[in-house]
Amino acid sequence: MANKIDRVPVREQEPKVRATNFEEVCYGYNAEEALLEASRCLGCKNPRCVAACPVGIDIPGFIAEVYAGNFEGAYNVISKDSSLPAVCGRVCPQETQCEGSCILGIKGQSVSIGKLERFVADTHREGKKRKADSVESGATPKNSNGIKVAVIGSGPAGLACASDLAKLGYSVTIFESLHRPGGVLTYGIPEFRLPKKKVVEQEIGDLLQMGIKIETNVFVGRSVTIDELMDKEGFKAVFVGTGAGLPMFLNIAGENLNGVFSANEYLTRNNLMQAFEESSDTPIFRAKRVCVVGGGNVAMDAARTALRLGAEVTVVYRRSEKEMPARVEEVHHAKEEGVNFCMLTNPVEIIGNEQGWVKAIKCVKMELGEPDEGGRRRPVAVPGSEFEIPTDAVIVSLGTMINSLIADTTPGIATDKKGRLQTDAVCATSKAGVFAGGDVVTGAATVILAMGEGRKAAKAIDDYLNKR
Ligand SMILES: Cc1cc2nc3c(=O)[nH]c(=O)nc-3n(C[C@H](O)[C@H](O)[C@H](O)COP(=O)(O)OP(=O)(O)OC[C@H]3O[C@@H](n4cnc5c(N)ncnc54)[C@H](O)[C@@H]3O)c2cc1C
Ligand code: SF4
Protein backbone atom coordinates (compact mmCIF):
# COMPACT_ATOMS: atom_id res chain seq x y z
CA MET A 1 0.00 0.00 0.00
CA ALA A 2 3.01 2.29 -0.03
CA ASN A 3 3.62 5.32 -2.18
CA LYS A 4 6.16 8.09 -2.11
CA ILE A 5 4.14 10.96 -0.70
CA ASP A 6 5.69 13.04 2.06
CA ARG A 7 4.52 12.69 5.64
CA VAL A 8 1.08 14.28 6.07
CA PRO A 9 1.59 17.43 8.17
CA VAL A 10 -0.47 17.76 11.33
CA ARG A 11 -2.57 20.84 12.01
CA GLU A 12 -1.66 22.93 15.07
CA GLN A 13 -2.84 26.08 16.80
CA GLU A 14 -1.01 29.20 15.57
CA PRO A 15 2.02 29.86 17.83
CA LYS A 16 1.00 33.45 18.69
CA VAL A 17 -2.53 32.40 19.61
CA ARG A 18 -1.62 29.28 21.57
CA ALA A 19 1.01 31.15 23.62
CA THR A 20 -1.93 32.89 25.30
CA ASN A 21 -4.12 29.89 26.07
CA PHE A 22 -3.91 26.41 27.66
CA GLU A 23 -5.76 24.58 24.88
CA GLU A 24 -4.07 21.69 23.12
CA VAL A 25 -1.38 22.77 20.65
CA CYS A 26 -1.81 19.91 18.19
CA TYR A 27 -5.18 19.19 16.52
CA GLY A 28 -4.22 15.70 15.29
CA TYR A 29 -5.26 14.08 12.02
CA ASN A 30 -8.78 13.87 10.65
CA ALA A 31 -9.91 10.64 8.94
CA GLU A 32 -8.83 11.74 5.47
CA GLU A 33 -5.35 12.73 6.68
CA ALA A 34 -4.99 9.52 8.69
CA LEU A 35 -5.86 7.35 5.67
CA LEU A 36 -3.33 9.20 3.55
CA GLU A 37 -0.60 8.88 6.18
CA ALA A 38 -1.44 5.18 6.72
CA SER A 39 -1.01 4.63 2.98
CA ARG A 40 2.71 5.41 3.39
CA CYS A 41 3.44 2.37 5.59
CA LEU A 42 5.21 -0.47 3.77
CA GLY A 43 3.78 -3.15 6.11
CA CYS A 44 7.31 -4.54 6.60
CA LYS A 45 7.62 -8.30 7.29
CA ASN A 46 10.24 -7.63 9.96
CA PRO A 47 9.06 -4.27 11.21
CA ARG A 48 11.86 -2.26 12.81
CA CYS A 49 9.24 0.05 14.34
CA VAL A 50 7.78 -2.78 16.47
CA ALA A 51 11.21 -3.83 17.72
CA ALA A 52 11.78 -0.23 18.85
CA CYS A 53 8.44 0.08 20.69
CA PRO A 54 8.96 -0.61 24.42
CA VAL A 55 5.57 -2.37 24.62
CA GLY A 56 5.79 -4.07 21.19
CA ILE A 57 2.59 -2.68 19.62
CA ASP A 58 1.78 -4.36 16.26
CA ILE A 59 2.34 -1.11 14.39
CA PRO A 60 1.94 -2.32 10.78
CA GLY A 61 -1.12 -4.28 11.96
CA PHE A 62 -2.91 -1.24 13.34
CA ILE A 63 -1.84 0.98 10.44
CA ALA A 64 -3.24 -1.57 7.95
CA GLU A 65 -6.59 -1.36 9.77
CA VAL A 66 -6.51 2.44 9.54
CA TYR A 67 -5.78 2.19 5.82
CA ALA A 68 -8.75 -0.18 5.46
CA GLY A 69 -10.93 2.39 7.23
CA ASN A 70 -11.50 0.02 10.17
CA PHE A 71 -10.61 2.44 12.95
CA GLU A 72 -12.15 0.36 15.75
CA GLY A 73 -10.18 -2.65 14.50
CA ALA A 74 -7.04 -0.51 14.68
CA TYR A 75 -7.93 0.42 18.27
CA ASN A 76 -8.31 -3.25 19.18
CA VAL A 77 -4.84 -4.01 17.79
CA ILE A 78 -3.22 -1.17 19.78
CA SER A 79 -5.07 -1.89 23.01
CA LYS A 80 -3.70 -5.43 23.15
CA ASP A 81 -0.37 -3.89 24.16
CA SER A 82 -1.12 -0.34 25.37
CA SER A 83 -3.62 0.67 28.02
CA LEU A 84 -3.20 4.43 27.39
CA PRO A 85 -3.02 4.92 23.60
CA ALA A 86 -4.36 8.49 23.45
CA VAL A 87 -1.76 9.48 26.05
CA CYS A 88 1.12 7.65 24.33
CA GLY A 89 0.15 8.99 20.90
CA ARG A 90 0.65 12.45 22.38
CA VAL A 91 3.67 12.24 24.68
CA CYS A 92 5.85 9.26 23.67
CA PRO A 93 9.27 10.21 22.27
CA GLN A 94 8.44 8.47 18.96
CA GLU A 95 11.38 10.13 17.22
CA THR A 96 13.80 8.00 19.25
CA GLN A 97 11.61 4.88 19.35
CA CYS A 98 9.21 3.54 16.65
CA GLU A 99 9.50 6.47 14.23
CA GLY A 100 13.25 6.70 14.80
CA SER A 101 13.56 3.11 13.53
CA CYS A 102 10.99 3.19 10.70
CA ILE A 103 12.56 2.03 7.44
CA LEU A 104 11.13 5.03 5.57
CA GLY A 105 13.16 7.31 7.81
CA ILE A 106 16.45 6.09 6.36
CA LYS A 107 16.05 7.96 3.09
CA GLY A 108 13.10 10.20 3.83
CA GLN A 109 10.43 10.79 6.45
CA SER A 110 9.30 8.01 8.76
CA VAL A 111 5.60 7.14 9.07
CA SER A 112 3.89 9.43 11.59
CA ILE A 113 3.10 6.52 13.93
CA GLY A 114 2.38 8.62 17.02
CA LYS A 115 -0.15 10.84 15.25
CA LEU A 116 -1.87 7.75 13.80
CA GLU A 117 -2.04 6.15 17.25
CA ARG A 118 -3.53 9.33 18.63
CA PHE A 119 -6.08 9.47 15.78
CA VAL A 120 -7.18 5.88 16.43
CA ALA A 121 -7.52 6.38 20.20
CA ASP A 122 -9.36 9.71 19.82
CA THR A 123 -11.76 8.25 17.24
CA HIS A 124 -12.52 5.34 19.56
CA ARG A 125 -13.14 7.68 22.50
CA GLU A 126 -15.34 10.11 20.58
CA GLY A 127 -17.33 7.17 19.23
CA LYS A 128 -18.15 6.11 22.77
CA LYS A 129 -19.35 9.63 23.69
CA ARG A 130 -18.81 8.96 27.37
CA LYS A 131 -19.30 11.81 29.83
CA ALA A 132 -16.11 13.68 30.67
CA ASP A 133 -16.54 13.12 34.39
CA SER A 134 -17.02 9.38 34.20
CA VAL A 135 -14.09 8.43 36.48
CA GLU A 136 -15.76 5.95 38.77
CA SER A 137 -14.28 2.80 40.16
CA GLY A 138 -15.23 -0.52 41.61
CA ALA A 139 -17.34 -2.61 39.17
CA THR A 140 -16.76 -6.31 39.79
CA PRO A 141 -14.52 -7.84 37.09
CA LYS A 142 -16.33 -10.48 35.02
CA ASN A 143 -13.71 -13.19 35.53
CA SER A 144 -12.87 -12.30 39.16
CA ASN A 145 -10.67 -14.82 41.03
CA GLY A 146 -11.12 -12.88 44.30
CA ILE A 147 -7.36 -12.55 44.95
CA LYS A 148 -6.48 -9.06 46.19
CA VAL A 149 -3.48 -7.19 44.76
CA ALA A 150 -2.48 -3.66 45.83
CA VAL A 151 -0.96 -1.17 43.39
CA ILE A 152 0.71 1.85 44.96
CA GLY A 153 0.70 4.92 42.72
CA SER A 154 -1.65 5.66 39.81
CA GLY A 155 0.87 6.85 37.22
CA PRO A 156 1.45 4.99 33.94
CA ALA A 157 3.34 2.13 35.67
CA GLY A 158 0.60 1.53 38.26
CA LEU A 159 -2.23 1.90 35.73
CA ALA A 160 -0.65 -0.51 33.24
CA CYS A 161 0.04 -3.07 35.96
CA ALA A 162 -3.48 -2.74 37.41
CA SER A 163 -5.11 -3.07 34.00
CA ASP A 164 -3.26 -6.29 33.11
CA LEU A 165 -3.97 -7.78 36.55
CA ALA A 166 -7.67 -6.91 36.27
CA LYS A 167 -7.80 -8.60 32.85
CA LEU A 168 -6.42 -11.73 34.56
CA GLY A 169 -9.23 -11.61 37.12
CA TYR A 170 -7.42 -10.15 40.14
CA SER A 171 -9.21 -7.83 42.51
CA VAL A 172 -7.01 -4.73 42.19
CA THR A 173 -6.98 -1.66 44.42
CA ILE A 174 -4.79 1.32 43.50
CA PHE A 175 -3.68 3.53 46.41
CA GLU A 176 -2.82 7.09 45.34
CA SER A 177 -1.50 9.83 47.61
CA LEU A 178 -2.92 12.75 45.59
CA HIS A 179 -6.61 13.55 45.26
CA ARG A 180 -6.68 12.71 41.54
CA PRO A 181 -5.27 9.65 39.73
CA GLY A 182 -2.83 9.69 36.79
CA GLY A 183 0.56 10.55 38.30
CA VAL A 184 2.62 12.83 36.09
CA LEU A 185 -0.04 12.58 33.37
CA THR A 186 -2.35 14.52 35.69
CA TYR A 187 -0.09 16.74 37.78
CA GLY A 188 3.01 17.17 35.58
CA ILE A 189 2.37 17.33 31.84
CA PRO A 190 0.38 20.49 31.07
CA GLU A 191 -3.07 20.68 29.51
CA PHE A 192 -1.74 22.17 26.25
CA ARG A 193 0.16 18.91 25.58
CA LEU A 194 -2.15 16.43 27.25
CA PRO A 195 -5.78 17.46 27.91
CA LYS A 196 -7.00 16.13 31.25
CA LYS A 197 -10.79 15.81 30.93
CA LYS A 198 -10.79 14.87 27.25
CA VAL A 199 -7.92 12.37 27.32
CA VAL A 200 -6.38 11.40 30.67
CA GLU A 201 -9.60 11.07 32.67
CA GLN A 202 -11.30 9.20 29.85
CA GLU A 203 -8.50 6.66 29.47
CA ILE A 204 -8.33 6.16 33.24
CA GLY A 205 -12.14 5.84 33.21
CA ASP A 206 -11.82 3.00 30.68
CA LEU A 207 -9.45 1.17 33.02
CA LEU A 208 -11.68 1.65 36.04
CA GLN A 209 -14.60 0.15 34.17
CA MET A 210 -12.60 -3.09 34.18
CA GLY A 211 -13.28 -3.29 37.91
CA ILE A 212 -10.15 -1.64 39.31
CA LYS A 213 -10.73 0.33 42.51
CA ILE A 214 -8.85 3.56 43.22
CA GLU A 215 -8.44 4.97 46.72
CA THR A 216 -7.08 8.51 46.50
CA ASN A 217 -5.57 10.54 49.37
CA VAL A 218 -3.81 7.42 50.72
CA PHE A 219 -0.10 8.05 51.27
CA VAL A 220 1.38 4.58 51.65
CA GLY A 221 4.11 4.69 54.29
CA ARG A 222 2.08 7.27 56.27
CA SER A 223 -1.63 6.33 56.02
CA VAL A 224 -0.86 2.60 55.87
CA THR A 225 2.30 0.53 55.32
CA ILE A 226 2.99 -2.22 52.81
CA ASP A 227 3.26 -4.75 55.66
CA GLU A 228 -0.17 -3.69 56.94
CA LEU A 229 -1.68 -4.06 53.46
CA MET A 230 -0.27 -7.59 53.20
CA ASP A 231 -0.63 -8.82 56.80
CA LYS A 232 -3.87 -7.11 57.89
CA GLU A 233 -5.79 -6.18 54.73
CA GLY A 234 -5.39 -9.42 52.80
CA PHE A 235 -3.42 -8.23 49.78
CA LYS A 236 -1.45 -11.21 48.44
CA ALA A 237 0.96 -9.12 46.36
CA VAL A 238 1.89 -5.44 45.99
CA PHE A 239 3.16 -3.42 43.04
CA VAL A 240 5.03 -0.19 43.85
CA GLY A 241 4.81 2.44 41.09
CA THR A 242 5.41 5.57 43.12
CA GLY A 243 7.54 7.43 40.56
CA ALA A 244 10.39 9.85 41.16
CA GLY A 245 8.70 13.05 42.24
CA LEU A 246 11.20 14.70 44.58
CA PRO A 247 12.76 17.79 42.94
CA MET A 248 16.51 18.46 42.84
CA PHE A 249 17.88 21.94 43.45
CA LEU A 250 20.90 23.97 42.36
CA ASN A 251 22.32 24.37 45.89
CA ILE A 252 23.46 27.92 45.20
CA ALA A 253 23.03 31.13 47.23
CA GLY A 254 19.59 32.73 46.94
CA GLU A 255 17.60 29.57 46.30
CA ASN A 256 15.36 30.33 49.31
CA LEU A 257 14.23 33.71 47.95
CA ASN A 258 10.56 34.41 47.18
CA GLY A 259 9.92 33.69 43.50
CA VAL A 260 12.07 30.53 43.31
CA PHE A 261 10.07 27.38 42.43
CA SER A 262 10.88 23.81 41.59
CA ALA A 263 9.34 22.90 38.22
CA ASN A 264 7.50 20.16 40.08
CA GLU A 265 5.75 22.65 42.38
CA TYR A 266 5.07 25.13 39.57
CA LEU A 267 3.48 22.54 37.29
CA THR A 268 1.60 20.70 40.03
CA ARG A 269 0.05 23.89 41.34
CA ASN A 270 -1.09 24.86 37.85
CA ASN A 271 -2.23 21.46 36.60
CA LEU A 272 -3.72 19.99 39.74
CA MET A 273 -4.80 23.03 41.72
CA GLN A 274 -5.65 25.44 38.86
CA ALA A 275 -3.33 28.01 40.47
CA PHE A 276 -3.32 30.01 37.21
CA GLU A 277 -6.90 31.11 37.98
CA GLU A 278 -7.14 34.28 40.09
CA SER A 279 -10.04 32.65 41.99
CA SER A 280 -7.88 29.68 43.04
CA ASP A 281 -7.40 29.18 46.82
CA THR A 282 -3.65 29.24 46.20
CA PRO A 283 -3.07 31.45 43.12
CA ILE A 284 0.46 31.34 41.70
CA PHE A 285 2.77 34.37 41.53
CA ARG A 286 2.48 35.83 38.01
CA ALA A 287 6.00 37.05 37.30
CA LYS A 288 6.74 39.43 34.42
CA ARG A 289 10.10 37.77 33.67
CA VAL A 290 10.87 34.10 34.38
CA CYS A 291 14.13 32.15 34.08
CA VAL A 292 13.78 28.38 33.78
CA VAL A 293 16.95 26.43 34.61
CA GLY A 294 17.30 23.08 32.80
CA GLY A 295 16.96 21.51 29.35
CA GLY A 296 14.56 18.56 29.69
CA ASN A 297 10.87 18.05 28.88
CA VAL A 298 9.96 19.29 32.32
CA ALA A 299 11.86 22.54 31.75
CA MET A 300 10.03 23.03 28.42
CA ASP A 301 6.68 22.42 30.12
CA ALA A 302 7.48 24.92 32.87
CA ALA A 303 8.71 27.53 30.37
CA ARG A 304 5.65 27.21 28.15
CA THR A 305 3.33 27.34 31.18
CA ALA A 306 5.01 30.53 32.45
CA LEU A 307 4.67 32.03 28.95
CA ARG A 308 0.95 31.29 28.98
CA LEU A 309 0.72 33.05 32.35
CA GLY A 310 2.00 36.19 30.65
CA ALA A 311 5.74 36.12 31.40
CA GLU A 312 8.72 36.80 29.20
CA VAL A 313 10.60 33.50 29.55
CA THR A 314 14.28 32.56 29.23
CA VAL A 315 15.53 28.98 29.45
CA VAL A 316 19.04 28.78 30.89
CA TYR A 317 20.90 25.57 30.03
CA ARG A 318 24.52 24.68 30.72
CA ARG A 319 25.17 22.64 27.57
CA SER A 320 24.32 23.40 23.91
CA GLU A 321 20.99 22.73 22.18
CA LYS A 322 22.35 19.48 20.71
CA GLU A 323 22.72 17.99 24.20
CA MET A 324 19.28 19.07 25.44
CA PRO A 325 17.36 16.02 26.71
CA ALA A 326 13.95 17.56 25.82
CA ARG A 327 12.07 16.21 22.81
CA VAL A 328 12.93 18.09 19.61
CA GLU A 329 9.22 18.80 19.07
CA GLU A 330 8.92 20.45 22.49
CA VAL A 331 11.94 22.71 21.96
CA HIS A 332 10.60 23.64 18.51
CA HIS A 333 7.18 24.48 19.93
CA ALA A 334 8.71 26.51 22.76
CA LYS A 335 10.78 28.55 20.29
CA GLU A 336 7.80 29.13 18.00
CA GLU A 337 5.82 30.43 20.96
CA GLY A 338 8.52 32.94 21.90
CA VAL A 339 10.55 31.29 24.69
CA ASN A 340 14.17 32.62 24.68
CA PHE A 341 17.09 30.21 25.07
CA CYS A 342 20.36 31.07 26.78
CA MET A 343 22.65 28.11 26.07
CA LEU A 344 26.05 27.20 27.58
CA THR A 345 25.09 29.19 30.65
CA ASN A 346 25.10 28.07 34.28
CA PRO A 347 23.53 29.90 37.27
CA VAL A 348 25.88 30.52 40.21
CA GLU A 349 23.69 32.73 42.42
CA ILE A 350 20.13 34.02 42.65
CA ILE A 351 20.10 37.67 43.68
CA GLY A 352 17.27 39.16 45.73
CA ASN A 353 15.92 42.65 46.45
CA GLU A 354 15.48 44.16 49.92
CA GLN A 355 12.06 42.58 50.32
CA GLY A 356 13.45 39.08 49.76
CA TRP A 357 12.15 38.61 46.19
CA VAL A 358 14.21 37.46 43.22
CA LYS A 359 15.56 40.31 41.07
CA ALA A 360 18.26 38.63 38.96
CA ILE A 361 20.12 35.42 38.34
CA LYS A 362 23.92 35.51 38.17
CA CYS A 363 25.37 33.08 35.60
CA VAL A 364 28.69 32.04 34.07
CA LYS A 365 29.31 31.14 30.46
CA MET A 366 30.23 27.49 29.82
CA GLU A 367 32.12 25.64 27.10
CA LEU A 368 32.00 21.93 26.30
CA GLY A 369 34.94 19.79 27.41
CA GLU A 370 35.59 16.04 27.34
CA PRO A 371 32.62 13.58 27.30
CA ASP A 372 31.35 12.39 30.72
CA GLU A 373 30.41 8.77 31.70
CA GLY A 374 27.10 9.18 29.79
CA GLY A 375 28.92 10.25 26.59
CA ARG A 376 27.71 13.87 26.70
CA ARG A 377 30.41 16.54 26.59
CA ARG A 378 31.01 17.95 30.06
CA PRO A 379 30.31 21.69 30.46
CA VAL A 380 33.22 23.70 31.90
CA ALA A 381 32.92 27.26 33.28
CA VAL A 382 34.70 30.03 31.36
CA PRO A 383 36.73 32.02 33.93
CA GLY A 384 35.68 35.67 34.40
CA SER A 385 32.50 35.28 32.31
CA GLU A 386 29.95 36.13 35.05
CA PHE A 387 26.89 38.13 34.00
CA GLU A 388 23.37 38.79 35.34
CA ILE A 389 19.96 38.15 33.81
CA PRO A 390 17.27 40.35 35.42
CA THR A 391 14.27 38.20 36.38
CA ASP A 392 11.35 38.12 38.86
CA ALA A 393 11.13 34.34 39.21
CA VAL A 394 13.33 31.29 38.77
CA ILE A 395 11.96 27.81 38.03
CA VAL A 396 14.50 25.08 38.79
CA SER A 397 14.13 22.02 36.58
CA LEU A 398 17.16 19.84 37.12
CA GLY A 399 15.49 16.46 37.41
CA THR A 400 13.93 14.49 40.24
CA MET A 401 14.81 11.87 42.85
CA ILE A 402 12.97 9.06 44.61
CA ASN A 403 11.09 9.79 47.84
CA SER A 404 12.51 7.39 50.47
CA LEU A 405 9.21 6.92 52.34
CA ILE A 406 8.39 3.47 50.92
CA ALA A 407 11.93 2.18 51.53
CA ASP A 408 12.02 3.70 55.04
CA THR A 409 8.74 2.07 56.08
CA THR A 410 9.10 -1.34 54.38
CA PRO A 411 11.55 -3.64 56.17
CA GLY A 412 13.40 -5.95 53.77
CA ILE A 413 13.09 -3.83 50.64
CA ALA A 414 16.46 -3.01 49.05
CA THR A 415 17.43 0.22 47.27
CA ASP A 416 20.50 1.36 45.37
CA LYS A 417 22.70 4.37 46.24
CA LYS A 418 20.27 6.76 44.54
CA GLY A 419 17.31 5.41 46.54
CA ARG A 420 15.80 3.55 43.56
CA LEU A 421 14.05 0.30 44.47
CA GLN A 422 16.14 -2.68 43.38
CA THR A 423 14.36 -5.28 41.29
CA ASP A 424 15.27 -8.41 39.32
CA ALA A 425 14.52 -9.10 35.64
CA VAL A 426 10.81 -9.61 36.37
CA CYS A 427 10.36 -6.54 38.59
CA ALA A 428 10.45 -8.47 41.91
CA THR A 429 11.98 -6.53 44.82
CA SER A 430 14.01 -8.15 47.60
CA LYS A 431 10.80 -8.50 49.66
CA ALA A 432 8.63 -11.52 48.87
CA GLY A 433 5.38 -10.59 47.15
CA VAL A 434 6.42 -6.97 46.51
CA PHE A 435 7.12 -5.90 42.92
CA ALA A 436 8.08 -2.48 41.54
CA GLY A 437 8.46 -0.64 38.25
CA GLY A 438 8.49 2.72 36.50
CA ASP A 439 10.45 5.77 37.63
CA VAL A 440 10.80 4.46 41.22
CA VAL A 441 13.09 1.76 39.78
CA THR A 442 14.63 3.40 36.70
CA GLY A 443 14.77 7.00 37.91
CA ALA A 444 12.97 9.65 35.83
CA ALA A 445 12.27 8.09 32.40
CA THR A 446 9.26 7.96 30.06
CA VAL A 447 5.56 7.11 30.12
CA ILE A 448 5.92 4.14 27.79
CA LEU A 449 8.87 2.65 29.71
CA ALA A 450 6.89 2.95 32.94
CA MET A 451 3.93 1.23 31.29
CA GLY A 452 6.18 -1.53 29.95
CA GLU A 453 7.50 -2.18 33.46
CA GLY A 454 4.00 -2.21 34.92
CA ARG A 455 2.94 -4.83 32.38
CA LYS A 456 6.02 -6.96 33.00
CA ALA A 457 5.35 -6.84 36.74
CA ALA A 458 1.70 -7.85 36.26
CA LYS A 459 2.83 -11.02 34.50
CA ALA A 460 5.38 -11.74 37.24
CA ILE A 461 2.77 -11.18 39.96
CA ASP A 462 0.45 -13.64 38.20
CA ASP A 463 3.28 -16.23 38.01
CA TYR A 464 4.16 -15.64 41.68
CA LEU A 465 0.56 -16.03 42.88
CA ASN A 466 -0.01 -19.12 40.73
CA LYS A 467 3.00 -20.81 42.33
CA ARG A 468 1.83 -20.22 45.91
C1 LIG B 1 6.52 17.70 33.64
C2 LIG B 1 6.85 16.35 33.07
C3 LIG B 1 6.77 16.17 31.70
C4 LIG B 1 7.06 14.91 31.16
N5 LIG B 1 6.91 14.74 29.81
C6 LIG B 1 7.05 13.48 29.28
C7 LIG B 1 6.79 13.25 27.89
O8 LIG B 1 6.49 14.14 27.12
N9 LIG B 1 6.91 11.97 27.43
C10 LIG B 1 7.23 10.92 28.26
O11 LIG B 1 7.26 9.78 27.81
N12 LIG B 1 7.51 11.13 29.58
C13 LIG B 1 7.43 12.39 30.10
N14 LIG B 1 7.69 12.59 31.43
C15 LIG B 1 8.13 11.45 32.27
C16 LIG B 1 6.95 10.53 32.60
O17 LIG B 1 5.81 11.27 32.90
C18 LIG B 1 7.33 9.60 33.74
O19 LIG B 1 8.47 8.85 33.34
C20 LIG B 1 6.18 8.64 34.07
O21 LIG B 1 5.02 9.35 34.45
C22 LIG B 1 6.59 7.68 35.19
O23 LIG B 1 5.48 6.90 35.55
P24 LIG B 1 5.35 6.24 37.00
O25 LIG B 1 4.04 5.53 36.97
O26 LIG B 1 6.57 5.47 37.29
O27 LIG B 1 5.33 7.44 38.03
P28 LIG B 1 4.42 8.76 38.18
O29 LIG B 1 3.78 9.17 36.92
O30 LIG B 1 5.29 9.73 38.89
O31 LIG B 1 3.27 8.27 39.18
C32 LIG B 1 3.55 7.92 40.50
C33 LIG B 1 2.29 8.12 41.33
O34 LIG B 1 2.51 7.57 42.63
C35 LIG B 1 1.98 8.44 43.60
N36 LIG B 1 2.69 8.18 44.86
C37 LIG B 1 3.97 8.51 45.18
N38 LIG B 1 4.27 8.08 46.41
C39 LIG B 1 3.16 7.47 46.89
C40 LIG B 1 2.85 6.81 48.12
N41 LIG B 1 3.76 6.69 49.09
N42 LIG B 1 1.59 6.33 48.30
C43 LIG B 1 0.65 6.44 47.30
N44 LIG B 1 0.91 7.04 46.13
C45 LIG B 1 2.15 7.53 45.91
C46 LIG B 1 2.22 9.82 43.02
O47 LIG B 1 1.35 10.79 43.59
C48 LIG B 1 1.94 9.58 41.55
O49 LIG B 1 0.57 9.79 41.24
C50 LIG B 1 7.46 13.84 32.01
C51 LIG B 1 7.59 14.05 33.38
C52 LIG B 1 7.30 15.29 33.91
C53 LIG B 1 7.43 15.49 35.40
S1 SF4 C 1 9.04 0.28 9.84
FE2 SF4 C 1 7.81 2.02 9.05
S3 SF4 C 1 7.13 1.29 7.06
FE4 SF4 C 1 7.81 -0.55 8.14
S5 SF4 C 1 5.95 -1.36 9.17
FE6 SF4 C 1 6.93 0.04 10.62
S7 SF4 C 1 5.89 2.03 10.26
FE8 SF4 C 1 5.46 0.74 8.45
pLDDT the model gives residue 321: 92
Give percent of the chain with pLDDT exceeding 70.
96
Tell me the sheet residues that pair with 213.
173
Right CATH for 15-128 from 1.20.120.1200, 1.10.1060.10, 1.10.10.10, 3.40.47.10: 1.10.1060.10
Atom of ligand 2 nearest to the CA of 50: 6
DSSP-derived pairing of the beta strands 400-401 and 246-247:
antiparallel
pLDDT the model gives residue 451: 94
| Cα 57 from chain centre | 19
Strands (E), 294-415: 312-316, 340-342, 345-352, 358-371, 377-381, 387-390, 393-396, 400-401
The residue whose CA has the least distance to atom 7 of ligand 1 is 91
Ligand whose nearest atom lies closest to the CA of 58: 2
pLDDT the model gives residue 139: 58
Q: Phi/psi at 369 (nearest 5 deg)?
A: -105, -140
pLDDT the model gives residue 282: 82
Pocket test residue of 5, 48, 111 for ligand 2, highest count of atoms within 8 A of CB: 111
pLDDT the model gives residue 2: 47
Report how far residue 257's alpha carbon sits from residue 272's, in angstroms, rounded to the nearest whole number: 24
Given this structure, which CATH class describes domain 246-400?
A: alpha beta
Atom of ligand 2 nearest to the CA of 103: 1
For residue 448, is pLDDT > 80?
Answer: yes
pLDDT the model gives residue 273: 82
Condensed to tens digits (0 to 9), the pLDDT of residues 145-201 reads 999 999 999 999 999 999 999 999 999 999 999 999 999 999 999 999 999 999 999
pLDDT the model gives residue 102: 97
For residue 135, is pLDDT > 50?
Answer: no
Report how far residue 455's alpha carbon sits from residue 457's, in angstroms, rounded to the nearest whole number: 5
**Which of these ranges, 48-57, 117-126, 129-138, 145-154, has the smallest mean pLDDT?**
129-138
For residue 332, is pLDDT > 60?
Answer: yes
Provide the angle, in degrees to the nearest 10, between the axes of the packed helices 31-38 and 113-128. 140
Report how far residue 291's alpha carbon sits from residue 312's, in angstroms, rounded to the nearest whole number: 9
pLDDT the model gives residue 127: 83
Average pLDDT value for the chain: 93
For residue 382, is pLDDT > 60?
Answer: yes
For residue 122, is pLDDT > 60?
Answer: yes
The residue whose CA has the least distance to atom 8 of ligand 1 is 91
Atom of ligand 1 nearest to the CA of 221: 41
> pLDDT band at residue 320, thresholds of 50, 70 and 90?
very high
The DSSP 8-state label assigned to residue 200 in this structure reads I
Domain ranges in the chain with CATH number 1.10.1060.10 = 15-128
Condensed to tens digits (0 to 9), the pLDDT of residues 271-312 reads 988 787 778 888 888 999 999 999 999 999 999 999 999 999
The residue whose CA has the least distance to atom 4 of ligand 2 is 44
Domain ranges in the chain with CATH number 3.50.50.60 = 133-245+402-467, 246-400
pLDDT the model gives residue 132: 37
pTM: 0.92
Condensed to tens digits (0 to 9), the pLDDT of residues 389-434 reads 999 999 999 999 999 999 999 999 999 999 999 999 999 999 999 9
Measured in Å, residue 306 CA sits from the centre of ligand 2 at 38
Say if residue 443 is exposed, middle or buried (CB neighbours under 10 Å; 0-12, 13-18, 19+).
middle
For residue 374, is pLDDT > 90?
Answer: no
pLDDT the model gives residue 397: 97
Condensed to tens digits (0 to 9), the pLDDT of residues 202-244 reads 989 888 888 999 999 999 999 999 999 999 999 999 999 999 9
pLDDT the model gives residue 138: 52
Contact status, residue 190 vs residue 167, Cβ threshold 8 Å:
no
DSSP-derived pairing of the beta strands 340-342 and 26-28:
unpaired
For residue 77, is pLDDT > 60?
Answer: yes
Atom of ligand 2 nearest to the CA of 42: 3
Contact status, residue 349 vs residue 335, Cβ threshold 8 Å:
no
Pocket test residue of 174, 184, 196, 413 for ligand 1, highest count of atoms within 8 A of CB: 184
Superfamily of domain 133-245+402-467: FAD/NAD(P)-binding domain (3.50.50.60)
Pocket test residue of 229, 447, 451 for ligand 1, highest count of atoms within 8 A of CB: 447
Contact status, residue 341 vs residue 315, Cβ threshold 8 Å:
yes
Condensed to tens digits (0 to 9), the pLDDT of residues 123-134 reads 998 887 544 344
